[in-house]
Structure 1
């Protein structure tokens, strides 16, 4: 099955209005990876952002997410 992968920040924001599901999360991660690559940025750049402290995820969750992002980056 084909899923919409966001190509812009606006697309990503629109995706965020959908109910959370594994497909929506995977599409968001794929979109962020594609946008990061188009900007000429590296996996390390993206992982640095994922690992920054924020109000949404704790340290353990950020490390878990960074592993998922790394796997997705390598799969593309």
Structure 2
């Protein structure tokens, strides 16, 4: 992977400066999972946040992202 897994929200935010590709998205998802776990949150809490209404993504996109995060969470277990 060309991008290290972010350790903080600031590092995830800094990824916005990079061109978007599959590896960047994977690094961002891995970073979010790492940070959420360090904060003691559960997968259920994270998916609830992902599925919450948001103007950036429609409902179908939020469901797809939430499924991707669940799969990633399980791989990092």
TM value normalised by structure 2: 0.94
Offset from partner CA, 1:4-42 (integer Å, 9 cap, x none) = 110001100101211110000000000000000000000
**For 1:14 and 1:3, how far apart are their aligned partners in 2?**
11
- 1:63 Cα deviation from its structure 2 partner: 0.3
Q: Give the secondary-structure state (helix, strand or coil) at the position aligned to 1:73.
A: helix
Structure 2, unpaired ranges of 5+: none
Match of 2:17 in 1: 17
Q: Give the secondary-structure state (helix, strand or coil) at the position aligned to 2:35.
A: helix
Runs of at least 4 residues off by over 3 Å: none
- 1:3 Cα deviation from its structure 2 partner: 3.2
- 1:48 Cα deviation from its structure 2 partner: 0.6
The answer on whether the counterparts of 2:2 and 2:23 sit within 8 Å (CA) in structure 1 is no
**For 1:72 and 1:64, how far apart are their aligned partners in 2?**
12
TM value normalised by structure 1: 0.95
**For 1:63 and 1:15, how far apart are their aligned partners in 2?**
23
Structure 1, unpaired ranges of 5+: none
Aligned residues: 76
After superposition, the CA RMSD in angstroms is 1.0
